[in-house]
């Protein structure tokens, strides 16, 4: 399991420090986990899977895909939940504004996004 933590971290292109910050541990703890000096706790496993959308079976056994499959609705829910947990008033105001938009306003946004995709 320890080598898969390193494989995951490299796949995410994160330093030990940034990876550890995401799950609430220091860079030295991640280094010790990756080298096998320390094991993963159940809490570490749950946080890694939740934070990085990792397939828990893959993390524990190496079987299957690294990342869990999510539906579009699940992805949206995860992103919105993550953004709102930041407790940033600007982010909260953006989501409130988006939620209060009319169909006509959404159509304007859709046209704008479509133009961005074609640039």
Residue 93 has a CB neighbour count (10 Å cut-off) of 10
Q: Answer for the pair 76, 98: CB distance below 8 angstroms, yes or no.
A: no
23-39 pLDDT, tens per residue?
A: 999 999 999 999 999 98
- Give dist(CA 107, CA 6) in Å, integer: 44
39-66 pLDDT, tens per residue?
A: 899 999 999 998 999 999 999 999 999 9
With a pLDDT cut of 70, the percent of the chain lying above it is 100
Kindly list the distances between the CA atom of residue 58 and the CA atoms of 5, 33, 73, 119, in Å, as whole numbers in the listed order. 10, 17, 23, 38
- Give dist(CA 35, CA 5) in Å, integer: 10
């Amino acid at each position: 399991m320890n080598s898969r933590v390193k494989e995951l971290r490299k796949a995410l292109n994160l330093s030990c420090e940034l990876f550890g910050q995401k799950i609430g541990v220091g860079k030295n703890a991640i280094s010790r986990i990756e080298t096998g000096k320390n094991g993963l706790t159940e809490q570490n496993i749950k946080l890694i899977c939740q934070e990085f959308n990792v397939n828990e079976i893959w993390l524990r056994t190496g079987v299957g895909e690294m990342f869990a499959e999510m539906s579009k609705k699940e992805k949206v829910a995860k992103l919105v939940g993550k953004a709102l947990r930041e407790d940033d008033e600007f982010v909260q105001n953006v989501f409130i504004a988006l939620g209060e938009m009319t169909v006509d306003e959404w159509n304007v946004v859709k046209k704008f996004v479509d133009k961005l995709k074609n640039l």
